[in-house]
A = this chain, B = another copy of it.
Amino acid sequence: MDLSFSADEVSFREEVRSFVRDNLPAAIRDKLASGRHASKDDMVAWTRILAAKGWSVPHWPVEWGGTGWSPIKLSIFNDEIQRGHAPESLAFGTSMVGPVIHTFGSQAQKERFLPRIVDLRDWWCQGFSEPGAGSDLAGLRTSAKREGDGWVINGQKTWTTLAQYADWIFVLARTDASVKKQEGISFFLVDMKSPGIAVRPIQTIDGGHEVNEVFLDNVKIPAENIVGQENKGWDYAKFLLSNERSGIARVGVSKARLAKIRRLAALPTYGEKPKMDDPMFRMKLAAVEVELKALEMTQMRVISAIRPGEKPKPNPMSSVLKIKGSELQQATTELLMDVVGPYALPFQPEREDGERWNEPPVGPDWASTIAPTYFNTRKVSIYGGSNEIQRSIIAKAILGL
């Protein structure tokens, strides 16, 4: 048992950190550091910089563009990406549909789709949730019927993140209504340019446009765009979701926010003393740091339990990471609210491309994103399987209740 990072791991972290420092365009870094969002162009630009280095899908099999890094190194890499205020890779392609295709897809699907994910030529979005199927995802009603040698899909998806940019969407649809709900679902790859697809934006409480409703009205898709076997889609979805959860602690994001909190709390924003001189605030901050340090170790324990080369399998400990990770992301946004104080009040929405409007800011120039971030971050204990669902998973899979 040696709980410190090896010399090799330490130098790897340094290599990644300096690569991000030297290659991430300053405009993008500053935008994300200030709490605003990366535009589509920002994400494409950065993904291509990584792809040129061979780092855009590090967790994939080497033959499809992966790096063969150890699980520890992969987590160091993600940590540094998040800490460095670089855009994270578009998970819908790299962490969701990509692994599903290279694990369950046909050779033709692999050759067609994977290379276009590596350099973000294809923007993917996720067609899982429906108005009537949230926590009860398997209760989805979108249907796919055979027609000729293809399929026709009808239904409605919702909470579809960044669908407004998407070239493709992966869709769970019911292909057999006569069996147990988990056993009649298939996994489809759908071109967003197909006739019959409509995207309607959902405005969120922070004033942003991140999620959408996607309507599928008699959308015809060719036979080859079903993944794996018919009616086995639920297995692929569970595989996908368990991948999603293991990365969902987002320790690097919370670390970056803590660094930001310390920077902003040291400014003489109000009165005689900076917030950082308030003992109560310091104790709240320290308490969050303790939990985050513990979570970082917990994540390492979970990750290092994966033997290199081994196929990732669902691990109920990832529910522990999801619960604590989301709570800490939220706790850090609350600390930022403590720092910004009364000047959280003015509403100064950012543009969809994450740029500022022209008029000068009201109050401190860093204040405008803080309340929206606090409101928006409430979602992290809801999506990706709500924390209530995670607790039930822990009770069942870890405690056997």
Min CB distance, A19 to chain B, in Å? Answer: 43
A280 — nearest CB in chain B belongs to which residue? B283
Residues of B within 8 A of A279 (CB): 279-280
A279 — nearest CB in chain B belongs to which residue? B279
A278 — nearest CB in chain B belongs to which residue? B279
Query: Would you call the interface of chain A mostly helix, strand, loop, or mixed?
Result: helix
Distance, CA A279 to CA B279, complexed state (A)? 8
Interface size on A, residues (CB 8 A): 3
Number of chain copies forming the complex: 2
Query: What per-residue 1/0 map shows which CB atoms of A131-153 lie under 8 Å from chain B?
Result: 00000000000000000000000
Distance, CA A283 to CA B281, complexed state (A)? 12
4 closest Cβ pairs, A-B complex = A279-B279, A280-B283, A279-B280, A280-B280
Residues of B within 8 A of A283 (CB): 280
Min CB distance, A279 to chain B, in Å? Answer: 6
Query: What per-residue 1/0 map shows which CB atoms of A276-287 lie under 8 Å from chain B?
Result: 000110010000
Distance, CA A280 to CA B280, complexed state (A)? 7
Min CB distance, A2 to chain B, in Å? Answer: 35
Query: What per-residue 1/0 map shows which CB atoms of A283-307 lie under 8 Å from chain B?
Result: 1000000000000000000000000
Residues of B within 8 A of A280 (CB): 279-280, 283
Instruction: Pull 4 A–B residue pairs with CB atoms less than 8 Å apart, ordered by A.
Output: A279-B279, A279-B280, A280-B280, A280-B283
Within 8 A of B (CB), among A236-285: 279-280, 283
A283 — nearest CB in chain B belongs to which residue? B280
Within 8 A of B (CB), among A343-376: none
Min CB distance, A130 to chain B, in Å? Answer: 25
Min CB distance, A282 to chain B, in Å? Answer: 10
Within 8 A of B (CB), among A35-49: none
Min CB distance, A288 to chain B, in Å? Answer: 16
Min CB distance, A285 to chain B, in Å? Answer: 14
Min CB distance, A328 to chain B, in Å? Answer: 22
Min CB distance, A287 to chain B, in Å? Answer: 11
Distance, CA A279 to CA B277, complexed state (A)? 14
Distance, CA A254 to CA B239, complexed state (A)? 53
Distance, CA A283 to CA B279, complexed state (A)? 11
Distance, CA A280 to CA B282, complexed state (A)? 11
Min CB distance, A239 to chain B, in Å? Answer: 36
Distance, CA A153 to CA B240, complexed state (A)? 62
Min CB distance, A289 to chain B, in Å? Answer: 17
Min CB distance, A140 to chain B, in Å? Answer: 26
Distance, CA A283 to CA B280, complexed state (A)? 9
Distance, CA A135 to CA B331, complexed state (A)? 36
